[in-house]
Amino acid sequence: MENLVTLADLELEDIEELFDLTDKLKQKHQQGTEHKLLAGQTLGMIFQKSSTRTRVSFEAGMFQLGGHALFLSANDIQLGRGETISDTAKTLSRYIDGIMIRTYEHSDVEELAREATVPVINGLTDLLHPCQVLADLYTVQEVRGELQGLKMTYIGDGNNVANSLLLGTTKVGMNISLAIPEGYRPEKEILATAEKQAAKSGSQIEIIDDPLQAAQGADAVYTDVWASMGDEDEAAERKQAFKDYQVDQELMAEANEEAIFLHCLPAYRGQEVTAEVIDGEQSKVFDEAENRMHVQKALMVELMK
């Protein structure tokens, strides 16, 4: 593993090794044991999209590993004034040991990874959110002890999270059911890749209109905001399109009794999820948010050590 651009590039063994290392690093963190595996190294963090969890989890994680993280907004570097991705990649590679980028166009991350001579991590694009889904899968494994054969249900917008869930679940052998209205379905190319992976792993993929049907027998129920960053001008239209796609207690009752609720955050109570669910006993959203840091620490160690 040289970069993390998409989960499709990882093998099952890569994910298993990453989660084994995550277990070790999380335990050390909880015990207060130093684990400065990246002492003296620097991660450059390019942010063209703002963030709470991505910035803090990478920055705090790098500090705990003994390294340093540089926050680089689009206005802080020449990328914001028209310097090419290629020139940025080649220049930063002379200074630092790894790059994390959170941006709009997925092609920008692909070009950055091609041109850089240090590891590149996709912190989010409009197409994919691989770090989030690695944390999601780790959280399910942490709760249930396994992933193979479990069912993930996703309710809502076929966005970057839904795309990466398709790639992640089918890589590890989970079944996935997505309830998404027509016009908001996942990218066809992503679905085609997921179907190829499912044929190898034994996963089953279902994309339907009915949220209650999708939730039947689920081990994890997942949702995301109805209007992602960049879709704000469609908020009213999307609120109407997704009004029947709220995760509430009625929907959770269709899932397995021990099912957990997941959300990548930020969440809007009363829209995609009720307060009763996200603040209830089945919710693991803050464990999931914490696990972003632990999984990303393992990822940085694997790529940068």
Check residue 157 and report its DSSP letter.
-
Q: How far apart are CA 45 and CA 90, in angstroms?
A: 15
Active site residue 224: yes
What sign does the dihedral 296-126-101-108 (CA atoms) show? positive
Amino acid residing at 153: T
Q: Say which amino acid occupies 103.
A: T
Bridge partners (DSSP) listed for residue 209: none
Options 224, 246, 271, 294, the catalytic residue = 224
What DSSP designation does 273 have?
Answer: B
Annotated active-site residue 144? The verdict is no
The span from the CA of 132 to the CA of 263, in Å, is: 10
CB 175, CB 192: distance < 8 Å: no
DSSP tally for the chain: helices H, then strands E = 12, 9
Identify the DSSP state of 13.
Answer: H
Measured distance CA(263)–CA(216) in Å, rounded: 18
Question: Catalytic residue at 114?
Answer: no
Active-site hit among 41, 141, 246, 264: 264
What is the Cα–Cα distance from 15 to 2, expressed in whole angstroms?
14
**122 vs 84, 142, 153, 158, CA distance in Å?**
18, 24, 24, 19
Marked catalytic residue, from 53, 238, 292, 294: 292
Q: Is 269 annotated in the active site?
A: no
Looking from the CA of 252 toward its CB, the CA atoms found within 13 Å total 21
Options 53, 102, 238, 294, the catalytic residue: 102
Options 53, 129, 263, 294, the catalytic residue = 129
Point out the catalytic residue in the list 64, 132, 141, 296.
132
Question: Known catalytic residues?
Answer: 102, 129, 132, 224, 264, 292
